[in-house]
Structure 1
Amino acid sequence: MKTNTVTNDLEQFVLENTGNSINKWKHYFEIYDRHFSRYRGADVHIVEFGVCHGGSLQMWKTYFGPSARIFGIDINPECKKLEEENIDIFIGDQEDRAFLRSLAKTIPRIDILIDDGGHKMNQQIATFEELFPFIDENGIYLCEDLHTSYWEKFGGGYKKNGTFIEYSKNFIDYLHAWHSQNPKKLDVTDFTKSVHSLHYYNSILVIEKRKTVKPSCIETGTARVSKYKAKKKWWKKWFK
């Protein structure tokens, strides 16, 4: 008989939660813990778009500990009532770039940014473009519920231009721009210099920041085998 196994404290918190409502996909908690656990007990600043009923803010407060500061963002003015010690809430439209820029000036530091907001394409893209540069140089950006990129209701559609999934595919090129042989088409950018890794999961993208430099190759040891030159296939000779 199969039993549900709790794999981390976040999952345990949610399963035992009797406080404010939390609505998350079950597989998210392992992903959160994998990338966020190094911040536990530290002086960490977390920004989460999408306050809803406030349950996830309380979850983060418990998970990260008393030194953490949590900043929640929501368009619903009622969410302001959910403020408590170490939890500040800002009310505004996630698609409003002026509002997003004001957050960058108001919030003293962003170590972790979680986009669980409106899930519409323009909202996700605007939030990334305006706030990613302000995330700490060793910080984390996480955008969740990426499956909305495939849902028409949210402006999505398979291979549709302008979805966050299609938009974020460019990040793979930016990450590898050090190796570009055509700088006019693909050149090194601030993204290239500040991103260490991209992690795609079902419905989640995690970007881990770290200052990077052009990769270099290292070779050690002296023993080698003889070089091998592959022979041409007979059919290649025939059709030459």
Structure 2
Amino acid sequence: MNLNVSELHGTLRERLRLRSRLLKLVPRGERVTRMTGWADLDNSPLGEGAIHRALDNHQGHLIHKWRHYPDVYDEVLAGYRNGFPLPDGGYRPIRLIEIGVSEGGSLEFWREWFGPDAQIVGIDIDPSCADLVDPSVATIRIGSQADPDFLRSVVDEMGGVDIVIDDGSHVASHQKVTFDTLWPRLSTNGMFLIEDTHTTYWPGFEGGLRRPGTAIEEAKQLVDDMHARYYIEAGEDAASEPRHPDLWSVAFYDSIIVMRKRSARTPARITRGTQVRPASDWAEEGY
């Protein structure tokens, strides 16, 4: 079904309303700000990056994302284009989970981007999504991202997961369950993305400015937790090992959070070179 822009906007609005009523999982409350709406649609060419060109060339099912997302993808996902990097310098096929199938266009794009050998699984709670895309594009599993047993079963079927993209319900408690369940099963050197985190400021998604438990606040806590071994403000006893010692980085973008995983290791200093100034030459402050 091909729609003009006006018809497309109306169809998207209606489908979002119907899905919310059907699933009965999204809390009531405000879900818009003055920065959102349909007047900001800009379908001009995205840019000259490889992922920008690939998105511009996409045909098929609808993709609906913020215009700046390809800039983020280009920065964080370009290294996976040839597959998942291995210690010996080689690659193996990517294993990707995208939560939130919507119209299926995003799954089609990830297939186009990561190639025919990638293992791509879409997760959605809406049964009508089950057959949206051809099985050669992706496997779609119907279930809730707030169900740990379901999520673990999907990863078990895949034999592991390298990239998780949470573009699902955007409900804070659901996002937390998803991260807590899938992070331990994410491959070392893998990546976990949470999209549309502007919803963490909207009450309709259990959100609010600095409200505990939202994806933004949880990610801020991860930054603090990453540095737990350095705490001194509350006394030396406050220092401890991070809860996620394999968390390598947390990056915040407009409406996207990206977390990278590395092998857990205790930080250690290094020195190179041997020439140093005499101690008498050092300034007293700062040493």
TM-score with structure 2 length normalisation? 0.73
Give 1:86 shift.
Answer: 4.8
Residue 126 of structure 2 is matched in structure 1 by 76
Give 1:185 shift.
Answer: 4.2
SS of the residue 1:191 aligns to: coil
Percent identity, aligned pairs only? 35
Contact map agreement 1:49 1:115 (CA 8 A) in 2: yes
The alignment status of 1:50 with 2:87, answered yes or no, reads no
The counterpart of 2:263, out of the listed 208, 211, 230, is: 211
Structure 2 CA distance for aligned equivalents of residues 183 and 40 of structure 1? 44
The alignment status of 1:224 with 2:265, answered yes or no, reads no
Structure 1 CA distance for aligned equivalents of residues 260 and 198 of structure 2? 21
Q: Which amino acid aligns with 2:247?
A: V
Give 1:161 shift.
Answer: 1.7
The alignment status of 1:94 with 2:149, answered yes or no, reads no
Unaligned runs of 5+ residues in structure 2 are 1-43, 84-92
Greater Cα offset, 9-18 or 111-120: 9-18
The alignment status of 1:38 with 2:89, answered yes or no, reads no
Q: Which amino acid aligns with 2:172?
A: M
Greater Cα offset, 127-136 or 196-205: 196-205
Contact map agreement 2:107 2:137 (CA 8 A) in 1: no
Give 1:68 shift.
Answer: 0.8
Give 1:180 shift.
Answer: 3.6
Give 1:218 shift.
Answer: 2.5
Residue 27 of structure 1 is matched in structure 2 by 68
Give 1:212 shift.
Answer: 3.5
Give 1:92 shift.
Answer: 0.5
Structure 1 CA distance for aligned equivalents of residues 276 and 136 of structure 2? 63
Q: Which amino acid aligns with 2:113?
A: Y
Give 1:176 shift.
Answer: 1.5
The alignment status of 1:67 with 2:117, answered yes or no, reads yes
Extract structure 1 runs of 4+ deviating beyond 3 A: 180-186
Contact map agreement 2:45 2:56 (CA 8 A) in 1: no
Contact map agreement 1:41 1:67 (CA 8 A) in 2: no
Q: Which amino acid aligns with 1:210?
A: R
The alignment status of 1:6 with 2:47, answered yes or no, reads yes
Structure 2 CA distance for aligned equivalents of residues 26 and 155 of structure 1? 25
Q: Give the number of the structure with larger relative contact order, counting CA–CA contacts within 8 Å between residues 6 or more apart.
A: 2
Q: How many positions carry a matched residue from both structures?
A: 227
Q: Per-residue displacement from partner, 1:17-74 (whole Å, max 9, x unpaired)?
A: 3310000111111211222122223211110001111000010001111121111001
Q: Which amino acid aligns with 2:100?
A: G
Residue 136 of structure 2 is matched in structure 1 by 85
Structure 1 residues 4, 102: CA separation in 2 closer, same or farther (over 3 Å shift)? closer
Contact map agreement 2:81 2:113 (CA 8 A) in 1: yes
Give 1:16 shift.
Answer: 3.0
TM-score with structure 1 length normalisation? 0.87
When the two chains are superposed, the root-mean-square deviation of aligned CA atoms in Å is 2.0
SS of the residue 1:197 aligns to: strand
Q: Which amino acid aligns with 2:151?
A: L
Give 1:154 shift.
Answer: 0.8
Structure 2 CA distance for aligned equivalents of residues 154 and 165 of structure 1? 12
Give 1:189 shift.
Answer: 3.8
